[in-house]
Chains A and B, each alone.
Chain A
Amino acid sequence: MIREPAGPVVLTGGTSGIGRATVEHLLANGVDVIAIGRDADRCRSVEIELSVRYPERKLDFVVADLSTTGEVRRAAGEIARLLQERWDHSLSGLSGLVNNAAMVSTWRMVTDEGYEKQFAVNHLAGFLLTRELLPLLERGTPGRVVTVSSGSHRHTTINWRDPMFSRGYTALRAYKQSKLANVLFTAEFNRRYAQSTGVRAYAFDPGLVRTDIGCKSSSGIERLVWRLRSRGRGASAPELPAQHLAALALEREMENPDAFYRVLGRAGMADRAGSDPVSGARLWALSEQLCQEPTLVAS
C-alpha cells in the first residue's frame, strides 16, 4: 500500500498534536522527515526523542515561524539545502509536503506584514511553501501535497471584501475561512499543476481530535467549548488522524485518487464552496499578490 519513497517528507507544525504524531508514523513507515517547528527547544526535544527511537531514519528540524512570507521562503531554502547535504543522491526530491501547521486566536493577531495571523499561518504559509517546494516535489516520485483542513470549512465563505477581518473578527469566522481556503487552494492546485507536474494535492479532514490548538492562544468561551468538544466522546487521540495523514502523504495506489478531500482514510465530499473554480482562482491570485517578494527600498 505504501510506496517506496524517493525522498523525505516535509511537514509543518511537527512539534505537537497531529503533526508530531504524523512525523512518528512516517518514520515508523521507513520514511525520512524534514519537519518545521516554531520553537527551537521543542524542535530539539522532539528531534532527539524520535531520532533515538528510529535511529535508522533521518529526521531534521527547521526552526521557522511560518507567519511571515520571508520566513516561509527562508525555510524553503533551508529544506533545499538540507536535501542536498543529507540526501546526497542528486536526483532525489521530496516525496511529500504536509501543510499541517495551524493556529486559532481569540483576539485578532497580525503578523509582521500586518496580515491576519490565522489567514497567514493556516493558509498563506502552506500556499507559499508549496509553491517554493514544487520543483523538489516534482522530482520526488512525484510527490504529494497534503493540507490539513477541517470539517469547519463548511457553511462559510471567503470574506472577499476584507479577508483579513479587520472588522468583525471572531476566532471562529477567521478559522473557518482559513480552513475553506485550504480546500480552495488544494482544488486549485490540482487544476493548475496535477496534469503538468504529476504532483497531486489533497485536503485532509482529521475529524475531531484531542489537541491543544484551540487552547494555545484563545480563552474564555472558545477555550471552554474547545476543551469540552475535544475531550468529549467522538474525539480521537492524534494518533488516529496521524496514521491516515502519513498514509495519504505516501500512498500511490488509492481508491478514487481524484477525490481530493479525504476524511481520515476515506474519500469525502468537500463543501461546494471549496471546489468552486472561480473562488479558487480568485484566492490563488490574492495569495500570489500577498506573497510577492518585497521590492522595496528604504528612504
Chain B
Amino acid sequence: MRRRALITGATGGLGKALAWEFASHGWDLYLTDNARGPLRTLAAGVKHAHAVDVVWRAADLSIQEDRADLLAAVREANLTFGALANVAGYDLEGAFRERDRDGLVSLMRVNMEAGLVLTHALLNMRNSWEPLRVINIASLAAFFPMPYKATYAASKAFVLSSSLALREELRGRATVTVLCPAGMPTTSSAMKGIESQGRMGRWTTWNASDVSRVTYREAMRGRPIVIPGWINRALLMVSQLLPKPLLVSLLARRWGTEAKRERPATLAGGQFRAQGSPPSPAERSA
C-alpha cells in the first residue's frame, strides 16, 4: 500500500531533508512552501532520485485564503495521507519594538495556526489502516522564554505544548511527535553562526539529514519528543534546574549582546536572519 506525506516548508533546509527521508522510505509526497520555483526544482530532484510520486503546490501559510486553497486542492486531489510534517516556520530577528505589527501576526499565523489547521484537516484524510504520523517542528527555544526572540520562542512553546496534548487526545487516530532541534547548518549564515560559537557550536549541531532520519524513525515509533544530540538534552536538563527568572535574565544577556552585534545566532532553525530583514522564501521554512 503506498503512503503519502504532506510536508510544509518543504524547500527549506529541514523540509528538504525530511522530504528526502520520507522518499527514501518509499513514501509519495505532497510538498508545499510559498514559492513555486524551488518547489518545482525539489519535486523533480526527489522524484528522480527515489522514483516516488510527488505533488506540490505553493501556498503562503500566513494567508488564510492560501491555506483554504491548499486544503481545497488537497481534498480535490482525493488523496489520503499517512503523515504530516509541519515544517513551515520562521523567526524575525530584532527587539520587540523594532518589529512591525503585521510581521508579528504573520509569524504567529505560520508558526502556530498553520500546523493546527492542517493537522485538523488531514485527520479526515488519513489512511484508514494506520494512525496519521504528525511531525511538528518546535525548537530548543520552545523550553525557554527568550528575550529578543519572545514571539518566536513563545510560538514554539505553543507547538510543543499543543503537540504533547494532542498526542494523548488523538491516540489511535494519530501520533504526534514534536522535534526540538538546535541550529542546523542549512544556510551559509547559519554555518557562520555555528562557527562563531566554536567547539560548542560544532558539538551541538547536527546535519539536517541526520535530524530528519532520527525524526522519521521516532515519529514512526510514535514517540513524543525528539531532541537530537545528548549534549543538547543534557544542556536542556541542566538549564531546567535553574529558576526561570534567572535563566531568562542569563538568556537576555546572551541574546541581547548577540542582537547588538547583529551576529547570527544558532539555537534553533530559522532564527539566523540579520536584524530587520524580511524572510526570504527559503528561510521561511525553519
Q: Which residues of A contact B (CB under 8 A)?
A: 68-70, 106-115, 164-167, 169, 217, 219-220, 289-292, 294, 296, 298-299
Contacts and interface: CB of A to CB of B under 8 A. Distances in A.
A113 B191 contact: no
B28 to A, nearest CB: 12
A217 B207 contact: no
Nearest first, the 10 closest Cβ-Cβ pairs linking A and B are A113-B45, A294-B44, A107-B185, A108-B207, A166-B209, A112-B41, A114-B45, A299-B55, A114-B16, A219-B195
Given A112-B11, A167-B213, A296 B44 contact: yes
B185 A109 contact: yes
Given A112-B42, A169-B210, 8 more contacts: A108-B209, A110-B209, A112-B45, A114-B20, A166-B21, A167-B213, A290-B48, A299-B30
10 contacts: A108-B185, A113-B41, A114-B20, A165-B209, A167-B213, A296-B56, A298-B36, A298-B39, A298-B57, A299-B30
A161 to B, nearest CB: 10
Interface in B203-224: 205, 207-210, 212-213
A108 to B, nearest CB: 4
Given A294-B41, A298-B58, A115 B47 contact: no
Contacts of A298: 36, 39-40, 55-58
B38 interface: yes
Q: How large is the interface on B (under 10, 10 to 19, 20 to 34, 35 or more residues)?
A: 35 or more
Contacts of B42: 112-114
Please classify the interface of chain B as helix (H, G, I), strand (E, B), loop, or mixed, using the class held by over half of its residues.
helix
B277 to A, nearest CB: 20
Contacts of A220: 195, 202
A294 B54 CA distance: 12
Contacts of A292: 44, 48
Contact of A110 (B17, B40, B54, B210): B17
Interface in B13-48: 13, 16-17, 19-21, 24, 30, 36, 38-48
B44 A113 contact: yes
A290 B213 contact: no
A10 to B, nearest CB: 24
A111 B36 CA distance: 16
B208 A108 contact: yes
A274 B205 CA distance: 34
A290 B24 CA distance: 14
A219 B191 contact: yes
B238 interface: no
Interface string B257-272: 0000000000000000
Contact of A112 (B38, B54, B55, B202): B38
Interface in B47-104: 47-49, 54-58, 73-74, 77
Contacts of B30: 299
A68 B37 CA distance: 12
Contact of A166 (B20, B40, B56): B20
